[in-house]
Amino acid sequence: MAQTGDMAPDFTLPRDGGGEVTLSALKPSKVVLYFYPRDDTPGCTTEAIEFTALIAEFEAAGTKVIGISKDTVAKHDKFIAKHDLGVILASDAEGNVCERYGVWVEKNMYGKVSMGIERASFLIDSEGRVAQVWRKVKAAGHAAEVLEAARTL
């Protein structure tokens, strides 16, 4: 489980539009990794739209934004097109990156226990170290909170 102060676990994942994204290749940019359960669900859509609305401000702060879920690249492409999203969406179909960041967790919804992605975000500094972690995120307003933290790095 990635925690504040740890070196962020590196990865290469397929991304929307084809191609791949490799965390270590983004240095010296800061990076926001936001993990979310599923494309085109209410909370996930709110979060993606809010990050997109602030993308120019993230870029001005030298910060890349990457959303990660277990959805396929094809599903990510549809999600981006439907909501005109401006963030990178990476597909962790096997769940390896989710496991390494500690966001693949047991969830309890309406008395039913299952495994799923915990909505969580990681702010990674220009050296590749985890600077801040948000767990059990509420989607609305979260992107603005992360932007403020990115600006102070």
Reading the block at residue 140, the tokens are 């609305």
Residues 101/32, Cβ–Cβ less than 8 Å: no
Length of the chain: 153
Distance between CA atoms of residues 49 and 94, nearest Å = 25
Q: Considering only CA atoms, which of 103, 132, 140 is closest in space to residue 32?
A: 132
Residue 44 bears catalytic tag: yes
Active-site residue identified among 23, 31, 32, 44? 44
Give me the active site residues, please: 44
